[in-house]
């Protein structure tokens, strides 16, 4: 839409053109007067010339007058042939006097005008008018178009028309100007009529000189724009008062505008029908003289309402952001601040006037954040938005921390013209974070101190405890009297209880620190359950309790998980069950509840017939330091940590645990853990090869690096019993000297030692001696991350003190596969565990038919000696397949009789055979298996004879 300035310019041009036209008309009138005078003179001169033709003086005067005129003067016959022309014709038209005399006047006129000019002359001759004026275009000699303004008179004499006399002038310039004026006027009129605004133009007398249709439409005027031209303003410039919501204000402002004659832009009026009009008043001046004015009305209803909605929305959201304490800042692409909202001004301590026009990066950004802020500006210039934290400088020099959410500002074409930032003051939060960070450092230091204290206490407790348990285990295997064996058992029991307490406390510490690692190795749940039964069977028998383990035949043969943690869970639950049960027994049920893809959920239920618990105790039984009652604590002992550890270990493995109990009837703990099903393979040595010797025949030499004398003796004795040769180094320095001189097969390395500790010694072995001998850390420390420290220093593995003989054997065999624990001609020093036979599993298998059970026992006692001889023969013949077939046929009856140790040895042997192991590895296991059978048969015979003699009730 054309601007107001363009309209003013167009009106100014129109007025100038009008003035020029008026000047031309005035000049033309003067020209007519001059031409009439000249014609009159010419007529008079001709009269004189006719009457006094003889007088030369008059003729000279006539020529002088004719030649002195600046217009073209010519005469023609009545039919248009030139009879006379003055010299001006040659300068104007290019024709000489000789060329034009005798030429018909009509031939000089433009062809399209000839008929019109001929009609003009014909009319003049017919009407007899004395002089007439006309304008028309002619062609010059050189082909140019020339406009002529011409006055013609008829010369008469005696009432007879003689000739025509004309005075003509070149009016081309005036015609061109008039044409330009008309074009300008037409364009201006068209422009106003087609404007998308209503326009009314009045002259200085307030008469309507121009109006468009949209003006009529805006105010409901029924007349056409052409019908309004020339009418008085009062009817149209002041529309009906009924149209406006404030008619008096509209009238007053209209009168003031006309009176003051000053341009007024963007006045806004509201109509009663809800429309919103914007009005402009433009006075028109020509050469400083007032010549009228222009009214322009535009319907801005939609735009006004949209702007109002935006304004209200902006006020609303500004209020929201102020209440949310969010400060807004807008900058252009040069970081010059264009707008700052109140909350932001409050944040930085400046007024908006102080911020506008300033560069935000120079005024508000600290030096250390300049580069960082430049990266944000670059991202914003590319159209990106993000959030970040940064400090801002306040007016008083202080600083605040703010979260800034920045986004680009785009124009209508989608170009980035600036950016907007929403600022949230987080200074208090940053201060709190700093305080928390400081508190965290203090807490971590305290935690480190606590861990170090636990480590030291663990070392101080475990070192003597290692000696107590180790030597008591060795003492049991010596010849002891009944009383001595009883005392040693007391010592072992007390030591194990103390070790349990220490381990529980340390496990809780590791769980709290999130540093209790979980393994994922293959193991057999059935084999693990048999091992646990073997471990606890003696405890159950000592109290006259039955211990039964029922396994689902559909259990996966091998799963991937942490057998150590599962053993810890089940031992804790079974130990508690045995401890709190006086009569009856304990039953463990293991079943598969669900299989999804390569995972299976295994449910374990440990049920006893013990003292049970009250219902109000059950919701808290898994809490730390909680037991069923004070009586339980006093009578049975314990720390109250075991079940809490069980729950934590179960949940760490993705499982759950619940308990059901009734006072006086017993309890049932049920837990479920998901395991991945392992592909068919042999079970890891860590689970299956408890305490077995190696297969080959060379001697194994082990270096024990230990500073405590009791631990030295214990380690040497245990290694000797296992069939290994060992040597002691009191500290790391001595160990390095021995390693330089002797090649050892394995090193058991204590961590804390004088002169040189275990970590430093190991690093020297790897870096200086360049030896890759397996080094096993052997420590009483309890730090949760000690395993990682051992591995980082170059050690291969870790075994805690006090260690079990079976665990030590397992770790040695892990790093010395294929190594024999026997010197030549030496038999394994194997002591079978106490016989595990109990008639209860057999009775369960035969439906409590004691007579049938006796038949089974009779058959077992009859066949077993022959099968033992067959095994010995197969070993002598190195026939592994025959051994596999025989023990496989025995396996079912062995499990039926509850012979857990014999069943374990069968499972281990089958695994080794499946792994293509040789007779050197299988024979020691078969020797042990034979010893177990030989120790179980007397027990079976005594039970059978007791029944036959009537000592066992039917």
| Secondary structure string (H, E, C) spanning 266-285 | EEEEEECCCCEEEEEEEEEE
| Sheet containing 145-157, strands listed edge to edge, beginning at the edge strand earlier in sequence | 82-85, 72-76, 160-170, 145-157, 131-139
Under 8 Å between Cβ of 696 and 819: yes
The sign of the dihedral angle between the CA atoms of 613, 617, 618, 622 is negative
DSSP 290: E
- Radius of gyration over alpha carbons of the chain, in Å? 62
Long-range contacts of range 456-461, CB-CB < 8 Å, 24 or more positions apart?
A: 457/782, 458/502, 458/506, 458/780, 458/781, 458/782, 459/752, 459/779, 459/780, 459/781, 459/782, 460/780, 461/498, 461/502, 461/780
- Distance linking the first and last C-alpha atoms of the chain: 117
Residue ranges matching CATH 3.30.450.20 in the chain: 4-177, 195-299, 330-425
SS (HEC) of 763-818: HHHHHCCCCCCCEEEEECCCCCCHHHHHHHHCCCEEEECCCCHHHHHHHHHHHCCC
Q: What is the pLDDT of residue 691?
A: 37
The SS3 call for residue 100 is helix
Q: How many CB atoms lie within 10 A of CB 876?
A: 10
Strand partners, 596: 599
Under 8 Å between Cβ of 472 and 495: yes
Which of the residues in the chain have pLDDT under 50? 1-4, 7, 11, 14, 17-18, 21-22, 24-26, 28-29, 32, 42, 45-59, 61-62, 628-637, 681-696, 782-784, 820-828, 952-954
| Whether pTM exceeds 0.85 | no
- What residues have CB less than 8 Å from 903, skipping those under 6 apart? 530, 891, 894, 895
Q: How far apart are CA 704 and CA 808, in angstroms?
A: 13
* Ramachandran class of 284: left when φ > 0, alpha when ψ lies in -120 to 50, beta otherwise: beta
Q: How many Cα atoms within 13 Å fall on the side-chain side of residue 315?
A: 5
Task: Report helix angle 4-51 to 56-68, nearest 10.
Answer: 170
Q: Does domain 839-948 have CATH number 2.30.33.40?
A: no
358-385 b/e (C-beta count within 10 Å ≥ 16 → b): bebbebbbeeebeeebeebbebbeeeee
Quick one: tokens of 950? 């009537």
Alpha-carbon separation of residue 320 from 316, 326, 455, 786 (angstroms): 6, 9, 57, 55
The sign of the dihedral angle between the CA atoms of 434, 438, 441, 446 is negative
DSSP of 885-937: HHHHHHHHHHHHTT-HHHHHHHHHHHHHHHTT--HHHHHHHHHHHHHHHHHHH
Alpha-carbon separation of residue 266 from 217, 256, 888 (angstroms): 20, 15, 107
Where are the strands (E) in 475-610, listed by range?
521-523, 546-551, 559-561, 585-596, 599-608
Residue ranges matching CATH 1.20.120.160 in the chain: 839-948
CATH class of 4-177: alpha beta
Residues belonging to the chain? 954
Q: What is the pLDDT of residue 46?
A: 46
Phi, psi (deg, nearest 5) at residue 834: -55, 145
What is the architecture, at CATH level 2, of domain 525-682? 2-Layer Sandwich (3.30)
Secondary element (H or E) of residue 363: helix 360-364
Q: How many CB atoms lie within 10 A of CB 901?
A: 25
Strand partners, 403: 389, 424
What is the architecture, at CATH level 2, of domain 195-299? 2-Layer Sandwich (3.30)
DSSP 242: G
Quick one: tokens of 133? 């004026």
Long-range contacts of range 95-103, CB-CB < 8 Å, 24 or more positions apart?
A: 95/141, 99/141, 100/74
CA nearest neighbour of 567 among 632, 620, 503: 503
What is the architecture, at CATH level 2, of domain 330-425? 2-Layer Sandwich (3.30)
């Amino acid at each position: 839409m054309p601007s107001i300035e363009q309209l003013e310019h167009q009106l100014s041009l129109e007025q100038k053109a009008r003035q020029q036209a008026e000047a031309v008309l005035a000049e033309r009138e003067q020209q007519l007067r001059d031409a009439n005078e000249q014609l009159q003179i010419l007529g008079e001169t001709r009269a004189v010339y006719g009457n006094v033709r003889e007088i030369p003086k008059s003729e000279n005067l006539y020529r002088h007058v004719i030649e002195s005129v600046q217009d073209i003067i010519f005469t023609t016959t009545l039919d248009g042939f030139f009879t006379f022309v003055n010299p001006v014709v040659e300068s104007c038209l290019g024709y000489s006097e000789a060329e034009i005399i005798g030429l018909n006047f009509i031939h000089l006129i433009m062809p399209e005008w000839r008929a019109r000019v001929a009609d003009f002359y014909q009319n003049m001759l017919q009407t007899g008018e004395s002089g007439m004026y006309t304008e028309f275009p002619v062609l010059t000699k050189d082909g140019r178009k020339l406009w002529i303004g011409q006055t013609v008179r008829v010369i008469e004499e005696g009432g007879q028309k003689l000739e025509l006399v004309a005075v003509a002038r070149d009016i081309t310039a005036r015609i061109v100007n008039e044409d330009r004026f008309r074009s300008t006027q037409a364009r201006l009129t068209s422009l106003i009529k087609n404007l998308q605004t209503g326009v009314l133009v009045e002259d200085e007398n307030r008469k309507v000189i121009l109006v468009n249709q949209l003006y009529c439409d805006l105010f409901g005027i029924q007349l056409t724009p052409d019908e309004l031209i020339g009418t008085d303003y009062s009817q149209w410039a002041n529309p009906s008062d009924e149209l406006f919501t404030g008619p008096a204000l509209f009238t007053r402002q209209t009168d003031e505008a006309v009176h003051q004659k000053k341009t007024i832009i963007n006045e806004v009026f509201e109509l009663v029908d809800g429309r919103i009009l914007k009005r402009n008043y433009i006075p028109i001046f020509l050469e400083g003289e007032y010549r009228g004015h222009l009214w322009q009305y535009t319907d801005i209803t939609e735009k006004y309402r949209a702007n109002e909605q935006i304004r209200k929305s902006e006020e609303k959201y500004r209020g929201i952001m102020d209440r949310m304490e969010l400060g807004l800042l807008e900058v252009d692409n040069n970081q010059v601040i264009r707008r700052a909202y109140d909350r932001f001004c409050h944040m930085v301590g400046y007024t908006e006037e102080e911020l506008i026009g300033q560069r935000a990066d120079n005024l508000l950004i600290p030096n250390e954040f300049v580069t960082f802020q430049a990266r944000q500006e670059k991202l914003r210039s590319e159209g990106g938005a993000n959030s970040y934290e940064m400090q801002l400088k306040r007016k008083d020099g202080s600083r605040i921390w703010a979260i800034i959410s920045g986004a680009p500002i785009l124009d209508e074409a989608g170009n980035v013209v600036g950016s907007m930032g929403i600022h949230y003051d987080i200074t208090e939060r940053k201060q709190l974070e700093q305080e928390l960070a400081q508190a965290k450092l203090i807490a971590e230091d305290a935690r480190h101190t606590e861990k170090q204290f636990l480590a030291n206490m663990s070392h101080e407790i475990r070192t003597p405890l290692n000696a107590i348990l180790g030597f008591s285990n060795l003492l049991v295997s010596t010849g002891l009297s009944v009383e001595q064996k009883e005392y040693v058992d007391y010592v072992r029991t007390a030591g194990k209880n103390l070790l349990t307490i220490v381990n529980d406390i340390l496990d809780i510490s590791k769980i709290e620190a999130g540093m209790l690692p979980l393994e994922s190795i293959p193991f057999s749940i059935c084999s693990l359950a048999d091992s646990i039964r073997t471990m606890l069977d003696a405890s159950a028998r000592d109290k006259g309790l039955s211990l039964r383990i029922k396994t689902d035949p559909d259990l996966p043969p091998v799963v991937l998980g942490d057998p150590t943690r599962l053993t810890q869970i089940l031992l804790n639950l079974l130990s508690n069950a045995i401890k709190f049960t006086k009569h009856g027994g304990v039953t463990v049920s293991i079943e598969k509840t669900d299989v999804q893809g390569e995972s299976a959920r295994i449910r374990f239920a440990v049920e006893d017939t013990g003292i049970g618990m009250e219902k109000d105790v059950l919701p808290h039984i898994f809490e730390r330091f909680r037991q069923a009652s004070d009586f339980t604590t006093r009578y049975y002992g314990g720390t109250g940590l075991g079940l809490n550890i069980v729950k934590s270990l179960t949940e760490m493995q993705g499982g759950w645990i619940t308990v059901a109990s009734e006072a006086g009837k017993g309890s049932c703990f049920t837990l479920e853990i998901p395991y991945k099903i392992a592909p068919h393979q042999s079970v890891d040595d860590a689970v299956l090869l408890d305490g077995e010797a190696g297969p080959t025949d060379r001697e194994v030499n082990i270096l024990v690096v230990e500073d405590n004398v009791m631990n030295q003796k214990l380690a040497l004795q245990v290694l000797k019993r296992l069939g290994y040769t060992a040597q002691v180094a009191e500290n790391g320095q001595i160990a390095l000297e021995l390693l330089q001189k002797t090649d050892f097969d394995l090193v058991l390395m204590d961590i804390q030692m004088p002169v040189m500790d275990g970590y430093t010694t190991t690093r020297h072995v790897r870096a200086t001696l360049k030896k890759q001998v397996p080094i096993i850390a052997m420590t009483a420390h309890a730090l949760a991350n000690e395993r990682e420290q051992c591995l980082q220093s170059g050690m291969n593995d870790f075994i805690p003190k006090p260690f079990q003989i079976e665990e030590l054997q397992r770790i040695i065999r892990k790093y010395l596969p294929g190594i024999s624990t026997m010197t030549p001609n030496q038999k394994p020093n194997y002591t079978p565990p106490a016989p595990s036979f109990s008639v209860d599993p057999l009775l369960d298998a035969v439906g409590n038919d004691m007579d049938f059970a006796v038949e089974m026992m009779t058959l077992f006692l009859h066949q077993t000696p022959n099968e033992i001889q067959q095994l010995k023969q197969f070993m002598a013949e190195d026939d592994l397949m025959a051994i596999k077939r025989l023990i496989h046929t025995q396996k079912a009856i062995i499990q039926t009789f509850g012979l857990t140790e014999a069943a374990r040895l069968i499972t281990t042997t089958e695994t080794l055979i499946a792994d293509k192991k040789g007779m050197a590895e299988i024979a020691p296991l078969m020797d042990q298996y034979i010893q177990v059978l030989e120790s179980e048969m007397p027990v079976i015979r005594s039970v059978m004879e007791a029944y036959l003699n009537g000592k066992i009730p039917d």
